[in-house]
């Protein structure tokens, strides 16, 4: 399958376009069928791609047969294929849930959903920085539209904030790209990594401004303090399957930081080595801290989950700031875990909210839920996993990240922060859970039972948590290899630019 690497982009693209055409147009059940088939295919091909990348090495796909650094390339290495598979699984869970009826809350849910997935997969796979911008636009514009799905003033208001901030972000992205192209003269990420080493002093300064702008833009997507403020409100007002899918969106930003600021502005970037670190450190720790406070102060389960997303972003960015193979490996594991679990938690919050009637998911006394056992079980699993208590995946991720902090200074800063954050999360979630499930007044109303599809969607996402622990050895081995691949510059550059010697750029 020589075209395997592009399938994660093409399948959702074609699905999305087909959904707009007869015979799928306007007939919801057909749309659901096609979407589910498409997602299944995506999982299968993503898994195949991952296996190929793991066994046969990095797959490069040269679009239009224009050899890099001139044309656009897709790079399917361990890191990107892993995230593509993650996206497919998350999107399967969210889609299953949506097919139970939430896709009815407005038009074009399924096509938009597919386009969004296409954008996310494209962002993970591309090896070209302008193409990354294009896929950012695809996923963003689809997310704007999906955000208003289900209607309501609150959603529209949150969407306006989200759209405007991201438009500013996109403009800054373009500024950054312009500056980088204007100094490096190339758009291929691997080629940029080579060119950056040859920059003269003055050009390096300009490129630094561009590189930092990119950090800012990725930070905006990743919800880095002080750019994260849009997140709690946006995520908590989105409809459940959309919010679940959004769980991967912050990871796109974090992934880009890993990719760009390890490969281009990493250790070997000469004058521009590790330019992100002085900024990343305080901001990452601040993100973790404010996310924790946010969790503690959350009035509803959805807001709490959104703040948990901020926490996971902070934790991941701390790992990024550690800038070591070990830390990256830990971060990748944590990324798998936190994406799926927060996704599941958004879905669970929605079911809880529906079954509690007028109180929704606010932490107040209310009527009992119709399915307290089922939801309670799911909630406990998700809560334990996300706080990082054993025996679920969160604790593995946290311990891995803590172990990645090696110097005393790192330990002194990171450990207390992560541990205190865990403790406050524990306090907040146990309060939330006991209130939601046990402070009940009246009998439940029985007509709000969860649809089997909804349960299936949640189960799919939640099952990942114990599986990530049981097969932890295998998974961490994979993430370690992926991290090794990312940090080994010669290897990644050579894989991307077999003829890199031809185009050395030279001195400016």
Partner 1 sequence: MLNDLIWIPLLPLLGTLVPLFASRFSRSACAFLTAGLPALALVLVLQLAPQVFEGETVRQSFGWIPQMGLELAFRLDGLALLFTLLILGIGLLVVLYARYYLSEKDSMGKFYAYLILFMFAMLGVVMSDNLIQLWMFWELTSISSFLLISFWGHKTEARKGARMALTITGAGGLALLAGVLLIGNVVGSYSLHDVLASGDLIREHAAYPVILVLVLLGAFTKSAQFPFHFWLPHAMAAPTPVSAYLHSATMVKAGIFLMARMYPVLSGTELWFLIVSMTGLATLLLGAYVALFKHDLKGLLAYSTVSHLGLITLLLGMGTELAAVAALFHIINHATFKASLFMAAGIIDHESGSRDMRQLNGLWKYMPYTATLAMVAAAAMAGVPLLNGFLSKEMFFAETLHQDSLGSLSWMVPVFATLGGVFSVAYSLRFIHDVFFNGEPINLPKTPHEPPRYMRVPVEILVALCLLVGVLPTFVIGDLLYTASAATLQGAVPEYSLAIWHGFNFPLLMSFIALAGGIAVYVNRKELFQFQAQFPENDPKLVFEAIIQMIHKQITRFMELAENGSLQRYSYMMLSLAMVMMAKPLLDLNATAGHRPQIPVDAISITGAVLLAIGALATVIWNRQRMVALVALSVVGLIVSLMFAKFSAPDLALTQLAVEVVTVILLMLALFFLPQTTPKESSPKRVARDLGIAAVIGGVIGTISYAMMTRPLESISTFFLENSKTGGGGTNVVNVILVDFRGFDTLGEITVLGIAALGIFKLIARMRLYMPASDGDGRPWSKDSHPLMLSVVSQSLLPLALLVSAYIFLRGHNMPGGGFIAGLITSVAIIQQYIAHGVDWIKARMKLDYQLMIGSGITIAALTGLGSWFFDRPFLTSWFDHFHLPLVGEFELASAMLFDLGVYLTVVGATMLILANLGKLTTSERPVLKEHD
Interaction with partner 1 in 366-395: which residues (CB under 8 A)?
Answer: 384, 389-391, 395
> Does 476 sit near partner 1 (CB under 8 A)?
yes
Would you state the structure tokens that stand for residue 125, as one six-digit string? 């796979």
From candidates 33, 37, 51, 226, binder to partner 1 by CB under 8 A: 226
Contact in structure between 473 and 397 (CB atoms under 8 Å): no
| Through-space distance between the first and last CA atoms of the chain, rounded to whole angstroms | 41
Task: Using CB under 8 A, pick the residue from 396, 461, 489, 496 that binds partner 1.
Answer: 396
**Cβ of 148: how many Cβ atoms within 10 Å?**
21
- Does position 61 bind partner 1 by CB under 8 A? yes
Residues 7 and 50: beta-carbon distance below 8 Å? no
CA–CA dist 428, 433 (Å, integer): 9
Residue pointed to by tokens 């969160």: 394
Applying CB under 8 A, which part among 16-24, 244-252, 258-266, 455-463 lies near partner 1? 16-24
Task: State both tokens at 193.
Answer: 């990594």
486 within 8 A of 124, measured Cβ to Cβ: no
| Token code pair at residue 202 | 């003055």
Up-side HSE of residue 243: CA atoms within 13 Å toward CB? 33
Nearest distance in Å: CB 44, partner 1: 19
Question: Which of these ranges, 212-220, 251-259, 448-456, 486-494, lies near partner 1 under the rule CB under 8 A?
Answer: 212-220
Residue from 47, 165, 174, 459 in contact with partner 1 (CB under 8 A): 165
Q: Which region among 85-93, 105-113, 245-253, 354-362 touches partner 1 (by CB under 8 A)?
A: 105-113
Residues touching partner 1: how many (CB under 8 A)? 124
Enumerate residues 297-316 that contact partner 1 by CB under 8 A: 297
Candidates 237-245, 256-264, 431-439, 450-458: pick the segment binding partner 1 (CB under 8 A).
431-439
Q: Which stretch binds partner 1 (CB under 8 A): 46-54, 254-262, 335-343, 467-475?
A: 467-475
- Distance CA(203)–CA(484), nearest Å, equals 30
The interface region with partner 1, picked from 40-48, 79-87, 247-255, 292-300 by CB under 8 A, is 292-300
Closest CB to partner 1 among residues 97, 437? 437
Helices (H), 298-324: 301-322
Q: Which of 23, 56, 65, 409 binds partner 1 (CB under 8 A)?
A: 65
Across the strands, what pairs with 128?
188
Footprint (CB under 8 A) of partner 1, residues 253-282 = 279
Angle formed by the axes of helices 109-125 and 28-56, nearest 10°: 10
Closest separation in Å from C-beta 6 to partner 1: 5
Minimum CB separation of residue 357 from partner 1 in Å reads 18
Please pick, from the candidates 45, 97, 124, 135, the single residue that binds partner 1 as defined by CB under 8 A. Answer: 135
Query: d(Cα 366, Cα 428) in Å, to the nearest integer?
Result: 19
Interaction between residue 356 and partner 1 (CB under 8 A): no
Among 334, 318, 229, 255, smallest CA distance to 281 is for: 318
Contact between 413 and partner 1 by CB under 8 A: the answer reads no
C-beta neighbour count of 270 within 10 angstroms = 11
461 binds partner 1 (CB under 8 A): no
DSSP 8-state code for residue 443: P
Choose which of 87, 237, 422, 492 interacts with partner 1 (CB under 8 A). 422
């Amino acid at each position: 399958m020589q075209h395997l690497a592009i399938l994660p982009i093409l399948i959702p693209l074609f699905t999305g376009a087909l959904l707009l055409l007869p015979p799928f147009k306007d007939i919801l059940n057909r749309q659901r069928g096609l979407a589910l088939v498409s997602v299944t295919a995506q999982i299968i091909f993503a898994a195949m791609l991952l296996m190929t990348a793991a066994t046969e090495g990095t797959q490069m796909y040269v679009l239009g047969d224009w050899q890099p650094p001139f044309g656009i390339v897709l790079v399917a290495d361990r890191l990107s294929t892993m995230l593509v598979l993650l996206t497919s699984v998350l999107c399967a869970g969210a889609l299953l849930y949506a097919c139970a009826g939430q896709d009815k809350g407005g038009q074009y849910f399924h096509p938009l959903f597919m386009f969004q997935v296409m954008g996310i997969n494209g962002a993970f796979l591309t090896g070209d920085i302008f193409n990354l911008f294009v896929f950012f636009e695809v996923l963003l514009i689809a997310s704007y539209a999906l955000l208003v799905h289900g209607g309501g003033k609150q959603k529209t208001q949150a969407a306006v904030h989200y759209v405007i901030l991201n438009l500013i972000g996109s403009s800054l992205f373009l500024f950054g790209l312009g500056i980088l192209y204007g100094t490096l003269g190339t758009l291929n990420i691997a080629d940029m990594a080579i060119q950056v080493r040859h920059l003269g002093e003055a050009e390096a300064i300009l490129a630094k401004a561009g590189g930092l702008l990119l950090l800012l833009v990725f930070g905006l997507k990743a919800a880095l303090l002080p750019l994260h403020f849009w997140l709690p409100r946006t995520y908590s007002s989105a409809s459940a399957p959309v919010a679940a899918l959004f769980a991967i969106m912050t990871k796109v930003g974090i992934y880009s930081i890993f990719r760009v600021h390890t490969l281009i502005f990493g250790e070997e970037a000469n004058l521009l080595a590790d330019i992100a670190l002085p900024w990343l450190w305080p901001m990452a720790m601040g993100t973790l801290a404010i996310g924790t406070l946010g969790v503690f102060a959350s009035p509803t389960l959805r807001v709490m989950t959104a703040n948990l997303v901020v926490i996971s972003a902070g934790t991941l960015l701390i790992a990024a700031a550690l800038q070591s193979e070990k830390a990256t490996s830990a971060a990748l594991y944590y990324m798998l875990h936190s994406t799926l679990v927060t996704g599941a938690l958004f879905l669970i919050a929605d079911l809880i909210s529906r079954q509690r009637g007028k109180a929704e998911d606010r932490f107040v006394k209310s009527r009992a839920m119709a399915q307290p056992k089922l939801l309670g079980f799911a909630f406990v699993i998700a809560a334990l996993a996300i706080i990082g208590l054993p025996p679920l995946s969160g604790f593995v991720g946290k311990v891995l990240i803590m172990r990645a902090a090696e110097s005393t200074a790192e330990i002194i800063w990171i450990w207390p922060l992560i541990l205190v954050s865990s403790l406050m999360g524990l306090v907040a979630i146990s309060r939330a859970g006991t209130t939601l499930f046990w402070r009940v007044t009246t009998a439940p109303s029985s007509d709000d039972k969860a649809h089997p599809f909804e349960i299936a969607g949640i189960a799919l996402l939640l099952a990942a948590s114990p599986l990530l622990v049981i097969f932890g050895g295998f998974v961490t081995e994979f993430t370690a290899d992926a991290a090794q691949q990312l940090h080994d510059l010669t290897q990644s550059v050579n894989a991307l630019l077999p003829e890199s010697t031809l185009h050395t750029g030279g001195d400016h």
